[in-house]
Amino acid sequence: MTVVMRSRDGWTQSLAVAAWTAAATPAERALLASLRGPVLDLGCGPGRLVVALAELGVPALGVDASGHAIDQARARGATALRHSVFDPLPGEGRWRSVLLFDGNVGIGGAPVDLLGRVARLLSGDGRAVVETAPPGTGSWTGEARLERDDETSGWFPWARVAADDLVRVAAAAGLWLSGWHIEGDRWFARLGRVIA
């Protein structure tokens, strides 16, 4: 099954739907094993990362706005809530790790607002792990939709943040870059809260 994300201004991106429903990869598990719990996975989808964290003995909670995704996550044994990431969430200001994998830095189409929300969720010494597009691919904000065969979703606000734009975007949200984790063509930034 091929699913494509298409923006109103014409760019398209094939989405790795099979990877989102598969178990976490060995490389993802190694990254997850480095995290301090509790972990909050924003846009958890079918819960593959939450399940992997539980298998590693790290307490985790998934959050997703899709009821279908949450049903799948719970069926896999993940602890997950159906909420918008912008809704009040349990443990605000006390999460040691917050995840935005698989392009979820695009949620809501306003990366500064989303990362500002992440900053408010983190504990003072917590870290966010944010997957970005590779450097040189360009950042984008606007509206997009999902297409599969003859089916299309409605338009929704979305964004893409390239690695070479992340420091600026994170700083505007009250976060600082503490390092990168790179696996092949996947770029993960570790971000901490700026404490005044």
Q: Provide the 10 A C-beta neighbour count for residue 133.
A: 23
pLDDT confidence of residue 104: 93
Whole-structure pTM value:
0.94
Residues 6+ apart with CB under 8 A from 176: 170, 191, 192, 193, 194
Structure tokens at 83: 């909420």
Handedness of CA 157, 14, 41, 193 (dihedral sign): negative
Phi, psi of 48 (to 5 degrees): -60, -35
Name the band, by pLDDT with cuts 50, 70 and 90, for residue 18.
confident
Q: What is the pLDDT of residues 160-181, one digit of tens each?
A: 999 999 999 999 999 999 999 9
Q: What architecture is domain 3-193? A: 3-Layer(aba) Sandwich (3.40)
Q: Provide the 10 A C-beta neighbour count for residue 2.
A: 10
Task: Name the helix (H) or strand (E) containing 51.
Answer: helix 48-55
Delimit the domains of the chain by residue range.
Answer: 3-193
Q: Provide the 10 A C-beta neighbour count for residue 124.
A: 9
